[in-house]
Structure 1
């Protein structure tokens, strides 16, 4: 368990992210941030909790003072040893309402374009070893997504219009043959229902039968067939309305884990690829996934598609206003290299979102990020970061964001730390038709922080 407090003072030359060529408001902001971290790994209970509460005090404009919460927690409880378990998770954080409008890397900007998002889920499941038949898992998951604007200054009464809380309920069943068999098989069933407080409900249903054939110590041939929900352009869907199949192979050894599937789903040819390589100094993750999904699934982390983790400064979510079902095609790659005096991390991300209800209109997001941490002393690190993002929206707007950051951190003693951060963001917009609120802007931030551990 770790608890402490961070005190900070920052200066920015564009507090409201005003457009280039227009009057820009500079300002000093004081940060007060108590935090608490906990982790446990035991035979009956394992989990983690990471919470921080950040208060921002704006010099000369107290009406803008705000309070931001950031909570991430998850845990697993073993109720009946080796059989009955309960997973739980909860989060509370800020997200962008509209990605087309001004946004900055930091909750202290007064851009009137963010909302608090609370998510929670509870998932009991039963595991049963059936001997030579295999292992069966039955799971029920209840989830909830809620929106509010508590603690956010200058929010208009209608800013959350169009954002509706949702309830998610899902059932999953899997039966997998023993791993020792040369010829393996698996049966899978999942059905998740998304119920908005306002609006129409929809379901993600999938049933499949899979086989695998081990042709060497490290290689298996894979094949799946099944039925799934077909999503239609008018916003409706047909449960079990589409058949699918895929085939491919997997390779797994001490360093590499690779999987490739090619098949056909209701939207056409489908692909899935993942590769992870863990060496002494170099760790590589590459993935490509295709999956019908929506914002609520992404927020709850309950979609079937998993990919390489995103780095700081990369937003992998649609706008909170985009709550329709879409086809996600996401590719990501992450490379980490350990050096004698630091670590280099490179992350690439590309996603295409095709919205079924919007006549197959698309959003495209591409990002790149490079972090290079240098150990410049036994207690001091220097981390420069550069990154970019290209966001193409369905209405024809394209937004380009480039950022550069340098962080100097020093451990004063076992309980006290200091950090100085310099950051520059530039945002350029091009569009076929003007978009209200979209603008080209730049912002610079100087941020000094002191952290004390209790």
Structure 2
């Protein structure tokens, strides 16, 4: 089985590659890093089947890859590609190759004026949040899809003296899924923001129009205009106000969903280590709340965010990491124990073109002491679908401990718990699934660029639908080389 064919991947690669061509490509050096990973996995439930129907297997994965990077004054490009080959001892008819790609780039086409952002990705994603959802690309289930995304966005920036800055941007992006639906989006945005002449009153005016064409499932339009201002009472505290108007049209609704919006609140930054921004108001879907808080000390980091907004599944798919490149705080991942292909998200919404109101709370905490790093993350998300009136709820937490045993040995232990409920409406309870994962791994650095890993993972999925409950024990050993 070939998932996300190579020609399709190369098609989406064309946008980032064009950046290299138009941005003085040979003026600065490129970094090419080939890699090869070989692993052996034993699982007692390769198909994530319910009790009594389990089937064990040995899985050999061979994954060649390459990373390409370049950063100069006019071009920044990061490309990571892997071809994952999965070979099953007892289910050889399921042998498969999977393309994994994450490419982003920014180029300056006209000095200080015209820029181009581009991105492309190829990955596997769960198409539902209950049932045979999986954490990786090796389990044999029917609840996973190949997903391709790309985005190309030229934009013009203009500084009008010290009075204001302006940006006009166009973006075209697409999502293609092997199991659900494809969609294309065209976005036009225009932003004005206060220049350096304004010290006490900071302001901005924003317009955005997004037209989404869902293949065979109608079209959706998000359009709004907002004006915002922050009045600094002191250097550390300011009052914030936001006002605007929404003019939306959701797929298959046949009517416009519009109305005024407003939020009031404040911004508090008592130091470089602490910040809090919170606003409260109303929008067409009801109460509108935005909170963003962070605090850090020498040993800890804390972050809290909350927001309600209209959304669609394709936006969530764009947010998924193909590789574990950044942590919960947006920092690049450098430790080899966490730099693997990203764990698949088991809490994504059921893939559909329907608009939903997304309410999400995220909390992240990190404590670092000598050779130990403790991470805690908590999330809660509610989704209210606007046409079917069904709702989904996801919530969970993960606790992980990373121990740098010595210069050559790392240990990582994690425990994650989550609950998903989907399909609920006024007439039925819906599907519920509790998901528990224990994961432990050791990484031995043999020499620069070469490491060996061994680990164990246990999954317990408990559902109110018996056929969707399962457990899995998994052992793995891998050798990883960067050339």
- State the TM-score, normalized to the length of structure 1: 0.90
Q: 1-side partners of 2:102 and 2:123: how far apart?
A: 9
Write out per-residue CA displacement over residues 99-158 of structure 1, whole angstroms, 9 at most, x where no aligned residue.
Answer: 22212222111112211000000000111001243000110000011122xxxxxxxxxx
State the partner residue of 1:153: none
The CA distance in 2 between the partners of 1:278 and 1:39, in whole Å, is 30
- The runs of at least 4 aligned residues of structure 1 exceeding 4 Å deviation read 230-234, 307-314
Residue 116 of structure 1: aligned partner: 146
Question: What residue number does 1:171 align with?
Answer: 188
Compute the displacement of 1:233 (Å). 11
- The answer to whether the 8 A contact 2:443-2:453 is kept is yes
What's 2:309 paired with? Answer: 291
Matched residue SS, 1:111? coil
Q: Which one of the candidate residues 388, 392, 409 is aligned to 2:417?
A: 388
Distance 2:234 2:472 in 1: 56
Give the whole-Å Cα distance in 1 for the aligned partners of 2:254 and 2:314.
Answer: 17
Deviation of 1:167 (Å): 0.7
Distance in 2 separating the partners of 1:198 and 1:231: 16
Deviations 1:11-68 (A, max 9, x none): 0000111101x23111101110112223332210012112211101111432110111
Which residue of 2 is the match for residue 338 of structure 1?
368
Number of the residue aligned with 1:229: 247
Residue from 160, 173, 176 that aligns with 1:146? 176
Q: What 5-or-longer segments of structure 2 have no aligned partner?
A: 1-31, 321-326, 331-341, 425-429
Distance 1:237 1:326, change over 3 A: farther
2:293 aligned to which of 272, 275, 288: 275
1:205-354 equivalences under 5 Å are 205-230=223-248, 235-238=253-256, 241-252=258-269, 253-301=271-319, 312=343, 314-320=345-351, 322-354=352-384
2:133: which partner in 1? 103
2: CA distance between counterparts of 1:195 and 1:44?
Answer: 33
1:10 counterpart residue number: 41
State the distance in 2 between where 1:332 and 1:3 align: 35
2:93 equivalent in structure 1: 63
1:312 & 1:59 partners in 2: Cα distance? 24
Q: After alignment, is 179-188 or 307-316 more displaced?
A: 307-316
Contact 2:392 2:423 in 1 (8 A): yes
Classify the secondary structure of the residue corresponding to 1:297.
Answer: helix
Aligned residue for 1:299, secondary structure, equals helix
Please state if 1:183 is matched with 2:212: no
Aligned pair in 2 of structure 1 residues 280, 313: CA closer, same or farther (>3 Å)? farther
| Structure 2 residue matching 1:358: 3-state secondary structure | coil
Determine if contact 1:231/1:356 at 8 Å carries over to the other structure.
no
Shift of 1:232: 7.2
Distance apart, 1:363 and its partner CA: 0.5
Asked if 1 retains the 8 angstrom alpha-carbon contact of 2:129 and 2:347, the reply is no
Q: In the alignment, does 2:475 pair up with 1:450?
A: no
- Tell me what 1:156 maps to: none
Q: Which moved more, 1:413-422 or 1:120-129?
A: 413-422
CA distance in 2, matches of 1:129, 1:316: 42
For the residues of structure 2 that align with 1:236 and 1:15, how far apart are their CA atoms? 45
- Within the alignment, does 1:379 sit opposite 2:397 as a pair? no
* Residues 189 and 206 in structure 2, CA contact (< 8 A), matched pair in contact too: yes
Aligned-pair CA distance for 1:229 = 2.8
CA distance, structure 1, for counterparts of residue 135 and residue 315 of structure 2: 24
Higher mean alpha-carbon deviation, 288-297 vs 39-48, is at 39-48
Conserved in 1, the CA contact under 8 Å of 2:187 and 2:208?
yes
**Is the 1:308–1:332 Cα contact (8 Å) retained in structure 2?**
no
Partners of 2:381 and 2:122 lie apart in 1 by 25
Residues 75-105 of structure 1: CA deviation (Å, up to 9, x unaligned): 1001112111100011110011232221222
In structure 1, distance between residues paired with 2:183 and 2:78: 25
Q: Which moved more, 1:336-345 or 1:364-373?
A: 336-345
Does the CA contact (< 8 Å) of 2:134 and 2:344 recur in 1?
Answer: no
The alignment's TM-score, normalised by the length of structure 2, stands at 0.85
Shift of the 284–212 alpha-carbon distance from structure 1 to 2, 3 Å rule, reads same
